[in-house]
A and B are shown apart, each in its own frame.
Chain A
Amino acid sequence: MNEETLIPKLGVVTDIRIDTPDVKTFRVVGLDGKKVFEHIPGQCAMLSIPGVGEAMFSITSSPTNREFMEFSIKKCGCLTDWLHAMDVGQQITIRGPYGNGFPVETDLKGKDLLFIAGGIGLAPLRSVINYVRDNRANYGSIQIIYGSRSKEDLVDYQEILQEWMTDEGVEVNLTIDREQEGWDGHVGFVPNFVKELNPDLKKTVLMCGPPIMIKFTLAGLKELGFSETQVYTTMELRMKCGVGKCGRCNIGSKYVCKDGPVFRFDQLDELPNEY
């Protein structure tokens, strides 16, 4: 790896898409118009506006996208407020990729995949979903269960409607928390929806969402008969260096930035519950 890992590269924001009232998706390329680096689905990058802050974000675009990287970012702090306020053409700094990513070329190959996401938790999974769709022959069936507070809070809604739902062999199940005018889909929380849908036990699960959703969904999956070895998730902790040295994301003998952020639940069982 590059020895100057703490010195970032420059990127430029070429497109900003408003996904939800508090999520925007930013398209980023290098100053030469090309991707700044290649990544594995599930890996992350450190983005920063000097003087404002630097933070870790999952790369939401698939590596099969050869032209640019995308980051879906929720507005929830100093840096993300700034990012939400900026315009196209703004330069940012970027370094990475960091973390292990999902095992798309090993353990997930040939498997029937079930993606479960809540809210902004779709961001890291979108990278895998589109990677798998672009390498369709290497994977079995694809099912996506995605829930948000309301219809307006569904991230990537247009892509879901126009690309995922029209894809043959991709089953998409959407839900929102409460009844809403103009929504004739499912209403209810993700954990219950998963139980209602009663997915096939052969499936490998990739899950990301708020901690409370993860907790109850995992319990529900176990009730259905899923084993923890079948369920992957991706974690979020405070990070500064991204390379396992600054100590912030240390849980047990693991560093989430380099040993994670992707873990199977049986692996998490061996770690202190400090996340």
Chain B
Amino acid sequence: MKKLPLSQMPALYAAMAQGGALYLPVDNAAGDAQFTRWQEGMELSRALNTVRSAKDFFFPQTENLVSFRMQGKTIEIIDPRTEGEDFVLFGVRACDARSFTILDKVFLADPVDSYYKSRREHGTVVTLACTRPEETCFCQSFGIDPADPEGDAACWLTEDALYITARTAKGEALLARLDGLLEDADPAPVEAQKAQTAAILAKLPLAQFTTRSFGGDVLMKAFDSPKWASLSEACLGCGTCTFVCPTCQCYDIRDFDTGHGIQRYRCWDSCMYSDFTKMAHGNPRTSQLERFRQRFMHKLVYFPANNDGEYGCVGCGRCLAKCPISMNIVKVAKALEGDVHE
């Protein structure tokens, strides 16, 4: 365990940004915390979490996959990528850090998505322990300890110092670069903070929430539940849940004619949208009920079935806070619990 006094934070940021970029949660003019490229004078947001998740850095909302030049009957294929920049992602919460390992299971599975893989290789994730988990938080339901986050390196902020420890080789390399700023530390204040946070976690309203009943052979039982109709009734199909979700990874591929060539780009998509599955011969999911069901079945049943029981949710609580009709995965899981256990 190492530490540095809080007065040295600007120097720490400058050192982390050396040779690449540093992104950290900063409050914007509207008061929303968003990951922002660090510049001299910027301060870390005090908010518990960013409005948008940190998945953007590895799976951006839009990116060019390939370019084409068309001339007569001929086509030229161009790989538009240039060598990526090394970057440090600082202040990632434990929930978002876990979301990266979930995204890895999709994008790094054979055949590897080289766009995602390259960003993962260039990025170093520095997490920050939570001290004030909120009532929308339920990361502990998925075995995540917000007071002791994963990542390449983990940090704890106390009243007078930042404590930091490396968890991977990448984290070690980062700490080596920061060595001049850091001093050896007694981990006692960190342990004290963990105990304090644990006491808050135990009292959270969702502390007892669990998705365990969705493990095992419940696919058709959950799918056939009569509750989907009432649960999805008010869903607007706006896709906000998908866009703020750190683990949602469905995407679209489209072409854009720039006037001097074609850009084929990938962008986030949502299974909540009516044309997601629409094709020439029809649409297998014509109602919002079916689309709503797909999203939650994927997170609670389909994804775990393919990934050793790991759910497609990290309990960050963003969808609880942002859904315009106050529907969310917690309500869905609780409503279905009885049906999958019959």
Contact = CB atoms under 8 A, between A and B. Distances in A.
Interface of A: 1-10, 50-54, 76-77, 80, 87, 89-93, 210, 236-238, 240-241, 243-248, 250-253, 270, 272, 274-275
Contacts of B276: 238, 248
A51 B70 contact: yes
A275 B284 contact: yes
Contact of A237 (B65, B70, B107, B279): B279
Contacts of A248: 250, 269, 276-277
B305 A253 contact: yes
A240 B255 CA distance: 12
Contacts of A51: 68, 70, 255, 257, 262
A135 B109 CA distance: 35
A251 B220 CA distance: 12
A275 B298 CA distance: 16
A240 B253 contact: yes
B111 A5 contact: yes
Nearest to A80: B280
Given A7-B66, A87-B73, A244-B109, 8 more contacts: A1-B110, A50-B70, A50-B75, A76-B281, A89-B73, A90-B73, A253-B219, A253-B302
A2 B73 CA distance: 27
Interface string B252-295: 11010100001010100101000011111100110000100010
Residues of B in contact with A, size category: 35 or more
Interface centre among B111, B301, B305 (most CB of A within 10 A): B111
Interface in B108-132: 109-115
A7 B249 CA distance: 19
Contacts of B250: 246-248
A87 B257 CA distance: 22
A245 B269 contact: no
B114 A4 contact: yes
Contacts of B77: 7-10, 93
Nearest to A6: B65
Contact of A238 (B68, B109, B111, B277): B277
Interface centre among A3, A51, A237 (most CB of B within 10 A): A51
A10 B75 contact: yes
Contacts of B74: 91
Contacts of A270: 219-220
B82 to A, nearest CB: 15
Nearest to B224: A272
A10 B68 CA distance: 11
Given A3-B111, A10-B75, A50-B264, A250 B302 contact: yes
A77 B106 CA distance: 30
Contacts of A87: 73
Given A240-B253, A245-B249, A272 B280 contact: no
A92 to B, nearest CB: 7
Contacts of A5: 111
B208 interface: no
Nearest to B67: A50
Contacts of A3: 111-112, 114
Contacts of B209: none
B230 interface: no
Closest 5 A/B residue pairs (Cβ) = A247-B250, A50-B68, A253-B305, A1-B111, A50-B262
B103 to A, nearest CB: 10
B253 A6 contact: yes
B75 A77 contact: no
Contacts of B112: 3
A210 B282 CA distance: 11
A126 B128 CA distance: 58
A2 B68 CA distance: 20
B223 interface: yes
Contacts of B65: 6-7
B243 interface: no
B263 to A, nearest CB: 9
A1 B110 CA distance: 7
A236 B284 CA distance: 10
A237 B269 contact: no
Contact of A272 (B70, B73, B220, B306): B220
20 contacts: A3-B111, A3-B114, A4-B79, A6-B65, A8-B77, A50-B70, A50-B255, A54-B264, A77-B280, A92-B75, A93-B77, A240-B251, A245-B109, A246-B253, A247-B249, A247-B250, A247-B269, A248-B276, A250-B302, A270-B220
